[in-house]
Structure 1
Amino acid sequence: MYKTIQTNTLIQSLYKSTPNILSLQRMAHSKVTIVGSGPAAHTAAIYLARAEMKPTLFEGMLANGIAAGGQLTTTTEIENFPGFPKALTGSELMDKMREQSIRFGTDIITETISKIDLSTRPFKLWSEFNEDGEPTMTSDAIVFATGASAKRLHLPGEDQYWQKGISACAVCDGAVPIFRNKPLAVVGGGDSACEEAQFLTKYGSKVFMIVRKDYLRASTIMQKRAEKNDKIEILYNTVSLEAIGDGKLLNALRIKNVKTNEESELQVNGLFYAIGHTPATKIVQGQVDTDEAGYIKTVPGSTLTSAPGFFAAGDVQDARYRQAVTSAGSGCMAALDAEKYVSELD
């Protein structure tokens, strides 16, 4: 198998026209298959490859609408990942992780896994170009690290100013220079929104919380903290309509009061979404235990799931922290758990 397989339009068309031939060429078995392309996936790959497990990693092709490398590829400067005293972009960090995975012998396939069968041993996996044919891969164990996508409002102007003033992670991006001593806004009314607003007061001159309802959904203690903070102003009964900027950076937000229908411009240089995340667990729903939001449940202190041999790492099982470094840590845990599982099969 090739170290890296770049799938392009030609290969996609070939898969559609001659699926049986190509599926026979591509079907293979791996001791451990990793599904994902972020810090959890590549950390697992590095550990497993160094342990001579010869893992295969499916990094996806715009899986969930995101390039290989995951959510970090949409982040500009990263200053909180250990080992890099100078800031680097999310894409640069993921490129380095990918290079390290390959260096130690990980087979990386640039295809999206769209179907998994956990009812058989070994497990069966199909790529999106081969769903109706034979499995693309069989595997003794799977490290599932497909991540979670931040929910967005898809406002006019959002795509233009994404990571140019708009973000879905205050902890990740709040300290970036463009936000320092500037007015900022947080969309949401739950605990996460209150926490992000509190965090942003360290950097912004003022933080507006944009809340659609006439109350906060957050816990009582979080509500009180937000209400008592002099740097936080809560705009109840308010929705966002449009992101406005100068072509380079965000500098305002058009908002509307849903009770009076009055529209106005809110002068802010940062907009942070705190309206939740959607874990990428659709292809294993019903086969492994998840919580109400769809996050995969793991045994505390491990990456073990309800399906023996199937390990979950990173944001796909972490609804709380969602940081690159915590994802990398859980990727290490998944690799060690998977290695132990496979060794006990022999």
Structure 2
Amino acid sequence: MSEQPRVEIYTKTQCPYCEKAKTLFEEKGVAYEEYNVTGDEELFEEMVERADGRKTAPEVFVDGELIGGWDDTAALAETGELDEMLGLVADGGEPVDDVVEHRRLLIAGTGIAGLTAAIYAARSNNEPLVIEGDEPGGQLTLTTDVANYPGFPDGISGPDLVENMKEQARQFGAELKNGIVERVDASTRPFRVELASGDVYTADAVIAASGASARTLGIPGEDDLMGYGVSTCATCDGAFFRDEDMLVVGGGDAAMEEATFLTKFADTVYIAHRREEFRAEDYWIDRVHEKVEDGEIEIMKNTELVEIHGSKEAGVDHVTLVRNEKGHPTDRLDDPETEEFDFDVGAVFLAIGHTPNTDYLEGTGVETDAEGYLSTQGGTGGGQTETDVPGIFGAGDVVDYHYQQAVTAAGMGCQAAIDADGYLESVERAAAEGSEATAADD
């Protein structure tokens, strides 16, 4: 194995993706140097210069070479290229620890659903292997203040809650592994589970708790300026655009929370929502309206973002919006009442929902709806979380397109672990009865 290269990570305080990056290297056993740019203008300017103008965190370097932010680093980890850069593979590119291991239960995802399933499964002596996924800890790691999770009257930060649950799962015997499930082969029993790194596991049962990923709009300028003033994480990047006018796109809880958070840094926060009514719960709407009364937030209803203008060198310069009082303006572009106009902002934050991470189950026979959410209660075992493929279960945001709350994800994680335990016991009973019948015939 080659000598470990030098790893440098620029971070900031209250940055969930920074924590994900550090955890990734820690779990690989790779030491790194951390530079926290919060409150250090000189260090921040150094990061921006080295990162080709990107004003976002984290920024990762290996032997002085820019790897990029969390998404870039996670993508390299998924393909196994990061392990090659870090000297963690043997000659010829084969992983040092490339072994096929059988597990009784494998859980895909370490959000609230996956970690709750891990706790219950470990307590049932099913020794689960938990694959962390490309967003370890799930969406809750992007939430600075979880005020409605039962048992925490003073609230708790999302990252703290996730770390507590990870430790709890480990104490009961769960094993957490960094990696991304790329494919599940359900044509054989046990299931064959292939990771993006090339590692392969077999498992008697699988719980899909891989959560959902932030949606983007697919509009001009979005991809080019992602990380240069466009972001899907206000808590990660908001502080980098201090005193700018900022635009938040969306109308649900996430948009309201991000807009409220950004008032710490912005001159004015604007919320663009394509409908007249918000989908957020009253708690968040009330908080936003308080900020509106204070002059910190302005709301633009029946308004959609259609283009982002700027450059990597200068960041976001302005955006193009369309507005129609009937709502859904992009569906009414030929309507003479639809108004298109340019609007000056220095940063854009997208909070428009999520897409379930279920691609790795394609070809298994697991039924999904048109958007990719898993259909459950379809199995033969009677469990509410079992899919129509016996032995594969779903929990959390891969199933729940409606509630999408931490507490409901935890509840489904518990159910999935109990359902999986029942399934595993039924398989063992059937195998034992078959052995007895064979012995009797002999």
**TM-score normalised by the chain length of structure 1:** 0.73
Correspondence 1:51 to 2:124: yes
| 3-state secondary structure, aligned to 1:77 | coil
Report the residue type matching 1:17 in the other structure. Answer: G
Write out per-residue CA displacement over residues 208-252 of structure 1, whole angstroms, 9 at most, x where no aligned residue: 9xxxxxxxxxxxxxxxxxxxxxx9763346646379xxxxxxxx9
In 1, distance between residues paired with 2:284 and 2:178?
37
Aligned to 2:394: 312
SS in 2 for 1:205: helix
326 and 266 in structure 1: CA distance in 2 versus 1, 3 angstrom threshold: same
Q: 1:22 to 1:255 in 2, by over 3 A?
A: same
| Separation in 1, partners of 2:275, 2:251 | 15
Structure ranking higher on relative contact order (CA contacts 8 Å, 6+ apart): 1
> Is 1:145 aligned to 2:209, yes or no?
yes
Distance 1:126 1:16 in 2: 22
Q: Is the deviation greater in 33-42 or in 148-157?
A: 148-157
Q: State the SS of the aligned residue for 1:52.
A: coil
Residues 1:160 and 1:232: Cα distance change in structure 2 (over 3 Å): closer
**How far is 1:263 from its partner?**
1.3
In structure 1, which of residues 245, 270, 273 is the aligned counterpart of residue 351 of structure 2? 273
Q: What is the match of residue 162 of structure 2?
A: 94
- Report the Cα distance in structure 2 between the residues aligned to 1:262 and 1:328, rounded to whole angstroms: 44
Give the number of equivalent residue pairs.
Answer: 299
Match of 1:17 in 2: 92
* Equivalent position of 1:204 in the other structure: 288
Q: Name the structure 1 match of 2:370.
A: 292
The aligned counterpart of 1:78 is 146
Pair 339,238 (structure 1): closer, same or farther in 2 beyond 3 Å:
closer
Q: After superposition, what is the alpha-carbon deviation per residue over 1:165-212, rounded to whole angstroms, capped at 9, x for unaligned?
A: 7587843574686479x975243449xx7423876432223899xxxx
Which residue among 109, 120, 129 is the counterpart of 1:36? Answer: 109
Quote how far apart the aligned CAs of 1:82 are: 1.3
CA deviations over 1:260-285 (Å, ceiling 9, x no partner): 54313489x996633x4211111112
Query: How far apart are 1:315 and its partner, in Å?
Result: 0.1
Paired AA for residue 341 in structure 2: E
CA distance in 1, matches of 2:358, 2:420: 19
> 2:369 and 2:321 mapped to 1: Cα distance?
34
Question: Which residue, 406, 411, 426 being the options, matches 1:344?
Answer: 426
Indicate if the aligned counterparts of 2:89 and 2:95 stay in contact, CA closer than 8 A.
Answer: no
Distance 1:107 1:31 in 2: 12
Between the aligned partners of 1:115 and 1:308, the Cα distance in structure 2 is: 17
What is the CA-CA distance between 1:336 and the residue it aligns to?
A: 0.4
**Contact in 2 for aligned 1:40/1:331 (Cα 8 Å):** yes
Residue 321 of structure 2: which of 256, 267, 271 is its match?
Answer: 256
Q: Give the 3 Å change call, closer, same or farther, for CA 238–21 of structure 1 in structure 2.
A: closer
Runs (5+) with no aligned partner, structure 1: 209-230, 244-251
The 1:16/1:31 distance shift into structure 2, 3 A limit, reads farther
Mean Cα displacement is larger for which, 255-264 or 88-97? 255-264
Q: Which has the larger radius of gyration?
A: 2
Letter in 1 for 2:118: A
SS in 1 for 2:210: coil
Note closer, same or farther for the CA distance 1:21–1:270 as it changes in structure 2 (3 Å cut). Answer: closer
Q: Secondary structure at the match of 1:78?
A: coil
Correspondence for 1:218: none
Structure 1 match to 2:200 = 136
| Matched residue type, 1:241 | I
Instruction: Spell out, residue by residue over 1:8-65, the C-alpha distance to the aligned partner (whole angstroms, 9 max, x if none).
Output: 6447751783537632xx32111111110100001000001111111111113xx1xx
Query: Which position in structure 2 is the counterpart of 1:222?
Result: none
Aligned mates of 1:115, 1:27 — CA distance in 2: 15
Q: Distance in 2 between matches of 1:10 and 1:86?
A: 41
**Cα distance in structure 2, aligned partners of 1:260 and 1:175:** 28
Measure, in 2, the Cα distance between the counterparts of 1:81 and 1:253. Answer: 38
* Rounded Cα–Cα distance in structure 2 between residues aligned with 1:79 and 1:35: 27
**One-letter amino acid matched to 2:161:** L
Q: Deviations over 1:107-155 (max 9, x none)?
A: 111121212101111001112121xxxx621111001100111213446
- Amino acid of the structure 2 residue aligned with 1:263: D
Instruction: String of CA shifts for 1:301-339, please: whole Å, max 9, x gaps.
Output: 711101100001100111111111111110000000000
Structure-2 separation of matches of 1:290 and 1:15: 39
Whole-angstrom distance in 2 between the partners of 1:129 and 1:183:
41
TM-score (norm 2): 0.58
Query: Is the alpha carbon distance of 1:107 and 1:150 closer, same or farther for their aligned partners in structure 2, counting shifts above 3 Å?
Result: same
Aligned partner of 2:192 among 124, 134, 144: 124
Amino acid at match of 1:152: T
Aligned residues of 1:38 and 1:94 also touching (Cα < 8 A): yes
Q: How high is the sequence identity, in percent, across the aligned residues?
A: 30
Letter aligned with residue 358 of structure 2: T
- Equivalent-residue separation in structure 1 for 2:272 and 2:375 (angstroms): 29
Q: Which amino acid aligns with 2:149?
A: F
Contact 2:234 2:261 in 1 (8 A): no
Q: CA deviation at 1:89?
A: 2.0
Gaps of 5+ in 2: 1-25, 31-81, 239-245, 293-297, 311-316, 323-332, 429-442
